[in-house]
Amino acid sequence: MTWVRIPACARNKMKEKIAKFHDKHYKTILIIPVLLLAISLLYIGAYYSKTGDFFEKDISLTGGTSITLYGTFDKAKLEADLTPLLDSASIREVSDVITHEQKAVIVETRTDGDQARAVLEKYLGHPLNEKNSSFEFTGASLSESFYKQLLIAILIAFVFMALVVFILFRTLVPSVAVIISAFADIVMALATVDILGIKMSSAGIVALLMLIGYSVDTDILLTTRMLKRTEGSLNSRIFSAFKTGTTMTLTSLFAILFALIIVRTFSVVLTEIFTILVIGLFFDLINTWITNVSLIKWYMHRHRKK
């Protein structure tokens, strides 16, 4: 297989065409992320008015019982039979990472531990002990307290991120653009989680915290190149930042996708974290290279005119 190398003159002409198109339409293109953000906010708002929460929480945030049953089970039949017997029951499979052979199932329910044990023992027809099962119980008050602490952690992280951005750039519009992009990443990821019906645990909220860091690094790279560098044209600096930034994001995205494929059969926690990060990084590409670029370019053109 032979690779065809595009001549430098052809690459330069292509960049010039893209730059002219972007100079002409960058304000119009901004409609795409604005619509996505508006739809996401409306969906989350509708979800909240319907359920009283911004997302569906699992037992680590609501309180309840997690029972691991070792062995091979028909997940669909188990779920159909136990749903009427246990409060908010959900079944997850645990499989071997190499052979994909089922090793256990995890039954999660808001029913208290003793009652859940009695129901399962009656259904299975044998007593549950340390050899064939394991039980974990989380109290509702403890889960609610932990949930509030995690939300406060996200708020504090966002506030400190905003302060660092303002101190770094000392200019209102570019700093706000960075913050808007990070906010949009979280909102769009959260709306997608709701649409997909993913139950959020404490691990999912940690993933949102991680997403703030993933979002801000490319935004700061872009803003620094556009505002603080003077060599070359504005578009050439955007191209330079785009090349570096997309390499960073896509490297992280493909690495997390690969990890997700490996862990999805045996780790519920890692699967949730990696899924949310994949969703968030996809939206980060849109919000960094459309939202942030357009807002800062708009600001710089207005600033030059003055």
pLDDT of residue 4: 47
To which residue do tokens 């991680």 refer? Answer: 210
Summarised one tens digit per residue, pLDDT across range 136-184 is: 777 666 667 777 887 888 888 888 888 888 888 888 888 888 889 989 9
Q: Which of 180, 147, 194, 146 is nearest to 42 (CA)?
A: 194
CATH number of the domain to which 221 belongs = 1.20.1640.10
Q: How confident is the model at residue 10 (pLDDT cuts 50, 70, 90)?
A: low
pTM, two decimal places: 0.82
119 with 245, same domain: the answer is no
63 neighbors 116 (Cβ within 8 angstroms): no
- Residue 211 sits at φ, ψ, to 5 deg, of -65, -30
Query: Among the three residues 112, 138, 164, which one is the final residue of a domain in this structure?
Result: 138
pLDDT of residue 306: 47
CATH number of the domain to which 84 belongs = 3.30.70.330
Summarised one tens digit per residue, pLDDT across range 210-262 is: 888 888 888 888 888 888 777 778 888 888 899 999 999 999 999 999 988 88
Query: Among the three residues 138, 164, 179, which one is the final residue of a domain in this structure?
Result: 138
236 with 281, same domain: the answer is yes
Summarised one tens digit per residue, pLDDT across range 72-120 is: 888 888 888 888 888 878 888 877 766 767 788 888 888 887 888 888 8
The sign of the dihedral angle between the CA atoms of 98, 104, 105, 109 is: negative
Identify the residue with better confidence: 18 or 33. Answer: 33
103 neighbors 96 (Cβ within 8 angstroms): yes
User: For the chain, how many structural domains are there in total?
Assistant: 2
Domain that includes residue 171, residue range:
18-57+142-305
